[in-house]
Amino acid sequence: MTALLIRDLRLAMRAGGGFGLGLAFYLILAVLVPLGVGPEGDTLALIAPGILWVGALLSCLLSLDRLFALDYEDGSLDLLATAPIPLEGVVTMKALAHWITTGLPLTLVAPVLGVLLNLPAAGFGWLVASLLLGTPALSVIGTFGAALTLGLRRGGLLLSLLVLPLYVPTLVFGAQAVVRGAAGLGTATPLLLLAGITAGAAALLPFASAAAIRINLR
């Protein structure tokens, strides 16, 4: 399983799997928003939590259609499906590799972009905490969507339509955790809900994704 994870990380780096693309998109969004809404600090501080979370969500979405595409095209996925290792484990490693190359870098760079959006100082720690808890769910849910659209021509649009509604609870609770933390209010409830979504997705969706892959490979 470790070898599979290392392989997927190398493929993500070599094939433009989303590492640089997601970060570039996140940076562009953070730069364009102040230009579009104006430089007023109070306005930017008000919308910063939502913008940073929406940007992270969309950045994760950019590379989802490539999660299984390369393995499907060269036949590696057929070999993985018949290998002694469980297909659920393969899916889990794919999701973990996606998070390491996309979700984790976005989490690390988010405080820097928070400065551009005039995020209150009290919200920086909660921004990182919410992204650390929430972005794994984005990768796992995205893996499920990628498995459902496996092998479809131009499946990227369908993948977005399938995944975005499932992303809404994570987006709402993640942004609320930052808003409440920046205002000095309690953040336990949204953070616990984020953790619950991530734990539930990690426990259930690999099985659903593996089942979808088996159906698409028939």
The separation between the first and the last C-alpha atoms of the chain, rounded to the nearest angstrom, is: 24
Tell me: the pLDDT tens digits for 168-213?
Answer: 999 999 999 999 999 989 999 999 999 999 999 999 999 999 999 8
Q: What share of the chain is helix, strand, coil (3-state, %, to 5)?
A: 85, 0, 15
* Domains of the chain by residue range: 2-217
Residue pair 106/23 in contact by the 8 Å Cβ criterion:
yes
CA angle in degrees (0–180, nearest 5) for 183-189-193: 125
CA–CA gap between residue 112 and residue 27 (Å, rounded): 10
Q: What is the pTM of this model?
A: 0.90
Tell me: the pLDDT tens digits for 36-80?
Answer: 888 788 888 899 999 999 999 999 888 887 788 777 777 778 787
